[in-house]
Structures are given as C-alpha cells and as structure tokens.
Structure 1
Amino acid sequence: MNAYTTVLLYAGWILVLALFYATPRIPQALLGQKRIDSWERGKEPIDPMMLQRAKSAHLNCLENFPVFAAIVAIAGLMGQIDAINGIAAFVLYARIAQSVVHITGTSFIQVFLRANFFLAQVGLMLYMVYLLVS
C-alpha cells in the first residue's frame, strides 16, 4: 500500500467512525423517539457509552489527519513519496487500533494501549519527517 492510498483509507476510516456513532440516531429522530437536535454539543450526552467513545475516536482521528495528510502531500510534492511509502501504512494501522481500543472501553489496559498506539503514530510521523528532510 502506498502513502497516497493510506491517506485515502485514513479518510475513509474517519467517515466509518462518523457513521458508526451517527447512524443509530437517524431512526430515533425520524420515528420521533428523540428530538432532531437532542445530540447538539453542549448538552448532556444521551448516547450509549460505546457511541460516545466512537464519537471521541472520530474526533481523535480528525486531530491527527491533517498532519499525516500534510506529510504525505509534501513528500509527493518533493518527489520523495517512495521514502515514506513503507511507513505510512503503519500510521493507519496504529490509528485503527487506537480507535478500536477507544471504542471498546476505558479500562487501565485499554487506555494504556490507546496511548501507545497514539505515540506510535506520532513517532512514525516524526520519522517520516526526518526521512524527508535528511
């Protein structure tokens, strides 16, 4: 998998997470079980914890995606995409792992794993930057 494909799959993962927590809301709103604006920001969360964690995982993806996409785009513009092709996929794998662990719970080990998957992504992105500037 090349770095460009990885960016596309990362974007796809962000969309999957958004659908995961938003889709259950549609029938509730359409059937009048919940007001259409009952999920607005600043209100008490009403979703089950798993959906609240999915929303948080989605927001976490949005925080790091611009940095990752920028590194890949700059590598392409510099004509050095091959330098990061082998590494970019591991950023995505660590992101997906972090999201899955985030959604499944908040035990000590899960939070510990999440933090390590996050640090792996940051470390990999810093390594890609190093490769591009050295």
Structure 2
Amino acid sequence: MTMNPTGLALIGYIAWLLLLVTMLVLIRATCTLTGKKAANDFNPNGLDVSPFSGRLCRAHANCYESFPFIGGLLMVALATDATRITDGLALPLLAARLTQSSIHLISTSELAVTVRFILFFTQIAICLWWSWRFAVLFLG
C-alpha cells in the first residue's frame, strides 16, 4: 500500500514533533537523574539548562503552534478525499518545516533567523493557498 504526499507530510510532521519532544524529555531526564535539576525546577523556555535546550524548546513550540493550521489542512484534505489540493505542496511544506526547525536548533544568527522567517512565510503562503482552494472547492 502506498501513501499519498499529504498523508506522508502529516505523518512526517507528527514524527518531527515526537522527535523534538523526545529530545526535550531526554535532556530534562538526564538533568534530573544526574541531580543537576529537580524535576519540578525547569524553566519552560529551556534556557535554564543550556542555549541549545532553549532553542529546542522554541523549535518544538513553533511546531505545535503551527500544527493546527498545517496539520488541520492536511487532515481536511485526507478526510474529504481532496488531497489533489494538498499533494503537490505537502512535501515541500514539510521540508520547509523540518529545515526551519533544524536551523533553529543550530543557530540564532541574523542570517539564520532571516532564513527561518522565509521558510515560515513559505509555510503560511502554502496554507493560505490551500485554504483558498478548499474554499473554492467546498463553497463553490
């Protein structure tokens, strides 16, 4: 059985979220088990652990903040058998999301932030395009 690009993008997005949260859990569990921090003493922004932990917390947050519109549109396409709307740009959107998060983990330089913004704007533009196409399809 093969899966369409829309389904692959949705599973890929969810897998990425799981990877990021697993990294957070491992970092925090290590800090707790080695006695560096109490289990109830973590700052939500992650900066109390390390700069990387802070970037990881933000990259993870960026993903779950975007999931309602990205994942939601992918799910609408799958649920309504309208993947013809999303299939063409589903994997490029996932690539933009993965690259945006990866850059976030690596650097907060001005160039890195600019590239991240471009990648995020690309995702927004794709979702706006899909929303328009769904509106035309479903509202006539």
- Specify if TM > 0.5: yes
Percentage identity across paired residues of the two chains? 24
> Which residue does 2:115 correspond to in 1?
113
> Which residue does 2:80 correspond to in 1?
78
Q: Does 1:21 align with 2:24?
A: yes
**What is the aligned residue count?**
133
CA-based RMSD: 1.8
In structure 1, runs of 5+ residues without a counterpart are none
Q: Secondary structure at the match of 1:24?
A: helix
Which aligned pairs between 1:1-134 and structure 2 lie closer than 5 A? 1-41=4-44, 45-134=47-136
Letter in 2 for 1:78: T
Indicate how the Cα distance of structure 1 residues 108 and 45 shifts in structure 2: closer, same or farther if over 3 A, else same.
closer
Give, in whole Å, the separation in 1 of the partners of 2:36 and 2:24.
Answer: 17
Q: Please say if residues 17 and 58 of structure 1, whose CA atoms lie closer than 8 Å, have aligned partners that are also in contact.
A: yes
The 10-residue stretch of structure 1 (13-22 or 57-66) with the greater mean CA deviation from structure 2: 13-22
Q: What TM-score comes out, normalization by structure 1 length?
A: 0.89
Q: Secondary structure at the match of 2:134?
A: helix
Give, in whole Å, the separation in 2 of the partners of 1:86 and 1:58.
Answer: 26
Residue 27 of structure 1, CA deviation: 2.5
Q: Please say if residues 6 and 78 of structure 2, whose CA atoms lie closer than 8 Å, have aligned partners that are also in contact.
A: no
Q: Please say if residues 59 and 101 of structure 2, whose CA atoms lie closer than 8 Å, have aligned partners that are also in contact.
A: yes
The 10-residue stretch of structure 1 (1-10 or 54-63) with the greater mean CA deviation from structure 2: 1-10
